[in-house]
Amino acid sequence: MLKKVAVLALDEMAVVEFGILCEVFGIDRSDDGLPPFDFHVVAAEPGPVRLPHGLTLTVEEGLDAAADADLIAVPAPDVGTEVDPRVLEALRAAHARGAWVMSACTGAFVLAAAGLLDGRPSTTHWKHTAELADACPLTTVDPDVLYVERDRIITSAGTAASIDASLHLVRTELGPRAANVIARRMVVPPQRDGGQAQYIAVPVPECADDGYAAVIDWIEEHLAEDLTVDVLAARALQSPRTFARRFRESTGTTPAAWVARQRLARAQQLLESTDLPVEDVARRVGFGQAAVLRHHFSTVLHTSPQAYRRRFTLTA
Confidence class of residue 210 from pLDDT cuts 50, 70 and 90? low
Q: How far apart are CA 224 and CA 235, in angstroms?
A: 16
End-to-end CA distance of the chain: 43
pLDDT at 105: 95
CATH 3.40.640.10: does it fit domain 210-312? no
Segments making up each domain of the chain, as ranges: 4-195, 210-312
Q: How far apart are CA 262 and CA 257, in angstroms?
A: 9
Rounded to 5 degrees, φ, ψ at 236 are -85, 0
Q: What is the pLDDT of residues 43-97, one digit of tens each?
A: 999 999 999 999 999 999 999 999 999 999 999 999 988 999 999 999 999 999 9
Q: Are both 4-195 and 210-312 of the same fold?
A: no
Tell me the average pLDDT of the chain: 90
| Average pLDDT for 297-312 | 85
Of the candidates 266, 145, 137, 118, the residue with the CA atom closest to the CA atom of residue 199:
145
Q: Which superfamily does 4-195 belong to?
A: Class I glutamine amidotransferase (GATase) domain (3.40.50.880)
Task: Output the pTM of the full model.
Answer: 0.69
Percent of the residues in the chain that have a pLDDT greater than 90, as a whole number: 70
Pure H helices in 34-128:
85-96, 108-113
Specify the amino acid at residue 294: R
Q: How far apart are CA 44 and CA 8, in angstroms?
A: 8
The residues near 239 (Cβ < 8 Å, ≥ 6 apart) are 233
Q: What is the pLDDT of residues 215-255, one digit of tens each?
A: 888 888 999 999 999 999 998 899 999 999 888 887 778 89
Higher pLDDT, 3 or 314: 3
